[in-house]
Amino acid sequence: MNSVKQTANRTALCALLIVALIPISVTGVNSADAPTTLAAPDSFSNLSDPAAQSAALFTEADKVLSSPRCVNCHPAGDRPLQGDAQRLHQPPVARGSDGFGTAAMRCSMCHQDANFDPAGMPGHAHWHLAPREMAWQNKTAGEICAQLKDPARNGGRSLDDVATHIATDSLVGWAWAPGFGRASAPGTQAQLGALIKAWIQTGSVCPQ
């Protein structure tokens, strides 16, 4: 019980510090024009050119990959982003050598194994930043596609490994259960996985 209390108190303290540093006007903002759904793979079967179909499938999947739920942990720099407004993380933190923060400020100091909604604190057992080579911030769908296909920039994964990771990894799945004050990624994790699988089956062509 003491351990649970300590975790709750630590998480609440972190959240209070964050709220104190962020103007209320930018917390919990949901963009009205952000997509909320994903088209099914068979929606693109009317495209007779396999390359065009493949590129269209990835473009649809990119609605998730380019959403704040993904980009915030795939930033261009060494500091994560926060919220739907994608502001710089407050308090200031850094990636560290392993993506889990610096020795003085590990991600797990504030982000616990699950969301702590009373304090608005997101959480997951493996909360961390994606590797620098997987930065998606300010990238086009075509550029993100090229990164996913490149083993040197996708963690040494094959395309089938990429599809499995996207469809089943629980940290990826957090994007659809992000907790209080944050919009979910479009569609569902299963729908995204189906789009990526179909993209691979049609030749894994990247959009221009």
Within 13 Å of residue 45, how many CA atoms lie on the same side as its CB?
4
Kindly tell me the sign of the dihedral angle through the C-alpha atoms of 42, 62, 150, 167. negative
Position 208 in a domain: no
Position 123 in a domain: yes
Position 23 in a domain: yes
Position 196 in a domain: yes
Nearest to 29 by CA among 91, 86, 114: 86
Asked whether 27 and 181 are in contact (CB, 8 A), the reply is yes
Position 7 in a domain: yes
Q: 161 CB contacts (<8 Å, ≥6 apart)?
A: none
Give Cα separations from 182 to 22, 84, 107 (angstroms): 15, 7, 19
Q: What is the DSSP string of 23-71?
A: -GGGTT---TTS------GGGGTT--SHHHHHHHHHHHHHHHHTSHHHH
Position 206 in a domain: no
Helix 141-149 × helix 159-168 angle, to 10°: 110
Could you read off the pLDDT tens digit of each residue along the chain, which spans 208 residues? Answer: 455 555 555 555 565 444 433 433 333 444 556 789 999 999 999 999 999 999 999 999 999 999 999 999 999 999 999 999 999 999 999 999 999 999 999 999 999 999 999 999 999 999 999 999 999 999 999 999 999 999 999 999 999 999 999 999 999 999 999 999 899 999 999 999 999 999 999 999 999 9
Helix (H) or strand (E) holding 159: helix 159-168
How many domains are there within the chain? Answer: 1
Containing structural domain, residue 61: 2-201
